[in-house]
Amino acid sequence: MKPAVRLDGIELSLIRQINALATPLSLNLGIGEPNVAPDERLREMARRAATASWHYTANAGTLALRKKLCENTPYDPKSEVCVTAGTQEGLFSLFTAFVDPGDEVLVPNPGFLSYATLAKICGATAVPYDLEAPSWEIDVEALRARITGRTKLIVVNSPSNPLGAVASQETLAAIAGLGPLVVSDEVYREIWYDAPPASMLGLGDNVIVLNGLSKSHAMTGLRLGWIHARESLMKPIVTAHQYIATCASAFSQALAQQVFDDAEWNAQWLAGIRAQFAEQRQAALYAIHHELEIDLDPPSGAFYAFAPVPSCDTISFAKTLATDAAVLVIPGVAFGSRGEGFIRISYAAPLEQITAGIERIGRYLLSQGR
């Protein structure tokens, strides 16, 4: 049976393909989820959430959770927020709601690969806007130059996967003012080092903001995300979401509610997760300096180091590292053509694994005469 045309040329992501090369001896620096376990308080919240209703909730989520998500924002909990089965389902819903065949979607290059894939699934063209090392800052004028009469969405991701780069408030405001709909993926917003990243919440009626608990609370498997947007944009998003997921898991919504209700615990949890990633970032940068002889600008958010390597075929490079050096990293080109020549090293891993994994990369490079 031939799959639908919309899936032509689309396969499981390179990230999944590299992870499939893992053996019990591999050190995994390819993973995109926090190496954090729930504490006793969070486990207790989960036990309580399990006793809440198991029935469908409203499509957009329980009103109690929506109210929490709209606190200190200019959005109306009744009509301007939708709880989703993770940020990924939120992305799928909003692409389904707005993107037509023939449209163009501006996506960061390098950037999270879902954006370009979702554009393709909708029959649209992903038009990359290039980001440049070492700052990876968004050049708003270059972005403006890419806008055409067919541009339907501009996708922004700050803090960025795979770059760890954070866009300034001025940059985000300027992007909001460009005209087209803007999708701001803020799923890493709670993972920062020196200063909290700016948000696009409330920056314009054309702005759609996504977030979720996967990265901030290490709940990747519980599939809990949300979207904020003005009512006129939210209506078609909720319609698409209804036919994709009906509603987010009632259990995960009840758990999210408790997380936000216990503001004191939540603030402590987030401070703890940031402190842990700061330590892991330091270990990664130190090892990258000593083993790979590279001085990377410290990433300002998320938990990825995007490091240049002496190879212009990083897919083969990452596959050889996996098979010959037993260390998993993601080839930069998985994130777009501008990622060629780089690897994404995730430091969401225990300190000794970060150090030993980067050592293995260094030894492999030495064995190849660098």
Give the list of residues 6+ apart from residue 243 with CB closer than 8 angstroms, or none: none
Task: Give 211 or 266: the residue with its C-beta nearer to ligand PLP.
Answer: 211
Strand partners, 196: none
- 86 near ligand PLP (CB under 6 A): yes
Quote the strand ranges of 110-186, DSSP E. 125-130, 151-157, 181-185
| Cα–Cα distance measured from residue 156 to residue 126, given in angstroms and rounded to the nearest whole number | 13
According to CB under 6 A, which one of 35, 93, 96, 157 is a site residue for ligand PLP?
157
According to CB under 6 A, which one of 14, 26, 30, 32 is a site residue for ligand PLP?
32
Q: How far is the CB of 188 from ligand PLP (least distance, A)?
A: 7
In the region spanning residues 104 to 143, those forming contacts with ligand PLP, defined by CB under 6 A, are: 112
According to CB under 6 A, which one of 88, 184, 216, 280 is a site residue for ligand PLP?
88
- 61 near ligand PLP (CB under 6 A): no
Question: Which among 53-61, 199-207, 212-220, 249-257 is the span making contact with ligand PLP, rule CB under 6 A?
Answer: 212-220
Tokens 């009906």 map to which residue?
Answer: 246
According to CB under 6 A, which one of 30, 128, 164, 225 is a site residue for ligand PLP?
225
Task: Give 167 or 292: the residue with its C-beta nearer to ligand PLP.
Answer: 167
Task: Give 79 or 220: the residue with its C-beta nearer to ligand PLP.
Answer: 220
- 87 near ligand PLP (CB under 6 A): yes
| Cα–Cα distance measured from residue 27 to residue 33, given in angstroms and rounded to the nearest whole number | 15
Give the list of residues 6+ apart from residue 174 with CB closer than 8 angstroms, or none: 140
- 164 near ligand PLP (CB under 6 A): no
- 212 near ligand PLP (CB under 6 A): yes
- 184 near ligand PLP (CB under 6 A): no
The alpha-helical segments, DSSP class H, found in the chain are 14-19, 40-49, 63-70, 86-98, 114-121, 140-145, 169-176, 231-245, 250-261, 263-292, 314-324, 351-367
- CA distances 27 to 210, 331, 352, 354, 356, Å, are 31, 16, 10, 8, 8
Contact 123, 6 (CB under 8 A): yes
Instruction: Give the H/E segment covering residue 308.
Output: strand 304-308
CA-derived radius of gyration, the chain: 20
Q: How far is the CB of 159 from ligand PLP (least distance, A)?
A: 9
| Cα–Cα distance measured from residue 207 to residue 247, given in angstroms and rounded to the nearest whole number | 23
Give the list of residues 6+ apart from residue 219 with CB closer than 8 angstroms, or none: 213, 252, 255
- CA distances 185 to 51, 108, 207, Å, are 32, 11, 11
According to CB under 6 A, which one of 103, 104, 185, 190 is a site residue for ligand PLP?
185
- 92 near ligand PLP (CB under 6 A): no
- 158 near ligand PLP (CB under 6 A): no
According to CB under 6 A, which one of 214, 216, 257, 266 is a site residue for ligand PLP?
214
Give the list of residues 6+ apart from residue 107 with CB closer than 8 angstroms, or none: 115, 116, 119, 126, 127, 128, 129, 155, 336
The greatest distance separating any two alpha carbons of the chain, rounded to the nearest whole angstrom, comes to 61
Q: How far is the CB of 100 from ligand PLP (least distance, A)?
A: 23
Q: How far is the CB of 290 from ligand PLP (least distance, A)?
A: 28
Q: How far is the CB of 252 from ligand PLP (least distance, A)?
A: 11
Contact string 293-322 vs ligand PLP (x = CB under 6 A): ------------------------------
Task: Give 86 or 362: the residue with its C-beta nearer to ligand PLP.
Answer: 86
Q: How far is the CB of 164 from ligand PLP (least distance, A)?
A: 11
Q: Which residues bind ligand PLP (CB under 6 A)?
A: 32, 86-88, 112, 157, 161, 185, 187, 212, 214, 220, 225
